[in-house]
Chains A and B, each alone.
Chain A
Amino acid sequence: MHIIWHMSEGPSAESLLPLQPTTFHILLSLAEEDRHGYAIILDVARRTGGKIRLSAGTLYRSIQRMLELGLIIETKSRPIPEMDDERRRYYRITPLGTAVAKAEVNRLSSLVKMARACGVTPRTT
Chain B
Amino acid sequence: MKLYRALLHLYPSSYRTEYGAEMTGIFAQEVRLRSTVLGRLWLWVETFLEVLSNAAAVHRQIARRDLRYSLRSLLRSPGFTATAVLLVTIGIGANAAIFNLADFVLVRPLPFPEPERLVKVYEKHPGYSMMELSPANYRDFIVSTSSFESLAAYTDIDMNLLGQGEPLRVEGAIVTGNLFSTLGRSPWIGRYFAERDDQAGAPATVMLSYGFWQTEFGGDASVVGKSIILDDRAYTVVGVMPPDFHFPTRETKFWRTFQFQEENYKDRNDNWIIGIGRLKPGISIDQARTGLQLIAKRLQQQYPKENENVGATVLSMRDELSKQSRWLLFALVGAAVCLLVITCANLANLLLVRAIARQKELSIRVSLGANRRTILRQLLSESVILGLAGGLGAVGVAAATLPLLARLVPTALPTQEVPPVDFRLLILALGLTAITVIAFGVAPAIRVCRNAGLSGLREGTRTGGSGSQRVRSALVIAEVAVSVVLLISSGLLVRAMWKVQETDPGFRGENVLTLRTALPLPKYEKTDVRKQFYTKVLRDVRRLPGVVNAAYISALPMVWRGGIWPVVIGGRSQNRSEGTSASLRYVTPDFFATMGIPILSGRDVSEADTNAKPYVAVVSESFVRRYWPDESPIGRHFEFAAHDREVAGVVKDVRVRGLERASEPQVYIPYTQVPDGWIIGYIPKDLAIHANRPPQYLVPQVRRIIGEADPQQPISDVRTMDEIVAGETQSRAVQTRVLMTFTAVAVFLAALGIYGLLSFTVSLREQEFGIRMALGAQQGDIFRMVLSKGAVLTLSGLIPGWLLAYMSGRWLQSLLAGLKPWDILMFSVASALCFAAASIGTLIPAMRAVRVDPTSVMKAE
Q: Which residues of A contact B (CB under 8 A)?
A: 1, 3, 5, 36-38, 41, 55-61, 63-65, 68, 87-89
Residue B19 at the chain A interface, CB threshold 8 Å: yes
The reply to whether A64 and B369 contact each other, CB–CB distance below 8 Å, is: no
What are 25 A-B contacts with C-beta separation under 8 Å? Answer: A1-B370, A3-B69, A5-B69, A5-B72, A36-B22, A37-B26, A38-B26, A55-B54, A56-B26, A56-B30, A57-B23, A57-B47, A57-B50, A57-B53, A57-B54, A60-B15, A60-B22, A60-B23, A61-B54, A61-B58, A61-B61, A64-B15, A64-B58, A87-B25, A89-B22
Which chain B residues numbered 510 to 568 have a C-beta less than 8 Å away from chain A? none
> Number of A-B pairs whose CB atoms are under 8 Å?
59
The chain B residue sitting closest to A55, CB to CB, is: B50
CA distance A60 to B369 in the complex (A): 21
CA distance A63 to B58 in the complex (A): 12
Residue B6 at the chain A interface, CB threshold 8 Å: no
The reply to whether A1 and B69 contact each other, CB–CB distance below 8 Å, is: no
The reply to whether A60 and B69 contact each other, CB–CB distance below 8 Å, is: no
Which bracket fits the contact residues of B?
20 to 34
The reply to whether A64 and B18 contact each other, CB–CB distance below 8 Å, is: yes
The reply to whether A87 and B55 contact each other, CB–CB distance below 8 Å, is: no
CA distance A87 to B26 in the complex (A): 12
CA distance A68 to B365 in the complex (A): 18
CA distance A38 to B58 in the complex (A): 20
CA distance A58 to B46 in the complex (A): 12
The reply to whether A41 and B26 contact each other, CB–CB distance below 8 Å, is: yes
The reply to whether A3 and B365 contact each other, CB–CB distance below 8 Å, is: yes
CA distance A3 to B374 in the complex (A): 10
The reply to whether A87 and B61 contact each other, CB–CB distance below 8 Å, is: no
The chain A residue sitting closest to B20, CB to CB, is: A60
A1 touching B369 in the complex, CB below 8 Å, given contacts A61-B54, A87-B21: yes
The reply to whether B25 and A38 contact each other, CB–CB distance below 8 Å, is: yes
A88 touching B25 in the complex, CB below 8 Å, given contacts A1-B369, A3-B69, A64-B15: yes
Question: In whole Å, how far is A90's beta carbon from the nearest beta carbon of chain B?
Answer: 11
CA distance A22 to B242 in the complex (A): 60
Residue B368 at the chain A interface, CB threshold 8 Å: yes
The reply to whether B26 and A1 contact each other, CB–CB distance below 8 Å, is: no
The 8 lowest CB-CB distance pairs between A and B, nearest first, are: A57-B54, A56-B23, A1-B369, A60-B19, A56-B26, A55-B50, A57-B50, A38-B26
CA distance A63 to B371 in the complex (A): 20
CA distance A1 to B18 in the complex (A): 9
Residue B222 at the chain A interface, CB threshold 8 Å: no
A contacts with B: majority SS: helix
CA distance A73 to B255 in the complex (A): 81
CA distance A63 to B46 in the complex (A): 20
Question: In whole Å, how far is A113's beta carbon from the nearest beta carbon of chain B?
Answer: 34
Question: In whole Å, how far is A33's beta carbon from the nearest beta carbon of chain B?
Answer: 18
- Chain A residues with CB below 8 A from B593, complex form: none
Q: Which residues of B contact A (CB under 8 A)?
A: 15, 18-19, 21-23, 25-27, 29-30, 46-47, 50-51, 53-55, 57-58, 61, 65, 69, 72, 365, 368-371, 374
Question: In whole Å, how far is A96's beta carbon from the nearest beta carbon of chain B?
Answer: 19
A87 touching B22 in the complex, CB below 8 Å, given contacts A61-B54, A61-B57: yes
CA distance A3 to B382 in the complex (A): 16
Question: In whole Å, how far is B68's beta carbon from the nearest beta carbon of chain A?
Answer: 8
B15, B30, B54: most-surrounded residue (chain A CB, <10 A): B54
CA distance A57 to B54 in the complex (A): 6
CA distance A60 to B72 in the complex (A): 27
CA distance A61 to B51 in the complex (A): 11
CA distance A64 to B23 in the complex (A): 13
The reply to whether A57 and B46 contact each other, CB–CB distance below 8 Å, is: no
CA distance A27 to B61 in the complex (A): 21
CA distance A68 to B23 in the complex (A): 19
Task: Known A-B contacts: A38-B22, A38-B29. Give 16 more (CB < 8 A).
Answer: A1-B369, A1-B370, A5-B69, A41-B26, A55-B54, A56-B30, A57-B51, A58-B50, A59-B26, A60-B15, A60-B22, A61-B61, A64-B15, A64-B18, A65-B61, A88-B22
- Chain A residues with CB below 8 A from B22, complex form: 36-38, 56, 60, 87-89
- Chain A residues with CB below 8 A from B21, complex form: 87
- Chain A residues with CB below 8 A from B18, complex form: 64
Question: In whole Å, how far is A38's beta carbon from the nearest beta carbon of chain B?
Answer: 5
- Chain A residues with CB below 8 A from B27, complex form: 56
A1 touching B368 in the complex, CB below 8 Å, given contacts A56-B27, A60-B19, A88-B22: yes
CA distance A89 to B23 in the complex (A): 11
- Chain B residues with CB below 8 A from A87, complex form: 21-22, 25
The reply to whether A55 and B55 contact each other, CB–CB distance below 8 Å, is: no
Question: In whole Å, how far is A16's beta carbon from the nearest beta carbon of chain B?
Answer: 15
The reply to whether B19 and A3 contact each other, CB–CB distance below 8 Å, is: no
- Chain B residues with CB below 8 A from A61, complex form: 54, 57-58, 61
- Chain A residues with CB below 8 A from B61, complex form: 61, 64-65
- Chain B residues with CB below 8 A from A68, complex form: 65
CA distance A3 to B375 in the complex (A): 11
- Chain B residues with CB below 8 A from A89, complex form: 22
The reply to whether A64 and B19 contact each other, CB–CB distance below 8 Å, is: yes
CA distance A1 to B368 in the complex (A): 8
Question: In whole Å, how far is A88's beta carbon from the nearest beta carbon of chain B?
Answer: 6
- Chain B residues with CB below 8 A from A36, complex form: 22
- Chain A residues with CB below 8 A from B58, complex form: 61, 64
The chain A residue sitting closest to B53, CB to CB, is: A57
- Chain B residues with CB below 8 A from A57, complex form: 23, 47, 50-51, 53-55
- Chain A residues with CB below 8 A from B15, complex form: 60, 64
Question: In whole Å, how far is A5's beta carbon from the nearest beta carbon of chain B?
Answer: 7
The chain B residue sitting closest to A61, CB to CB, is: B54
- Chain B residues with CB below 8 A from A38, complex form: 22, 25-26, 29
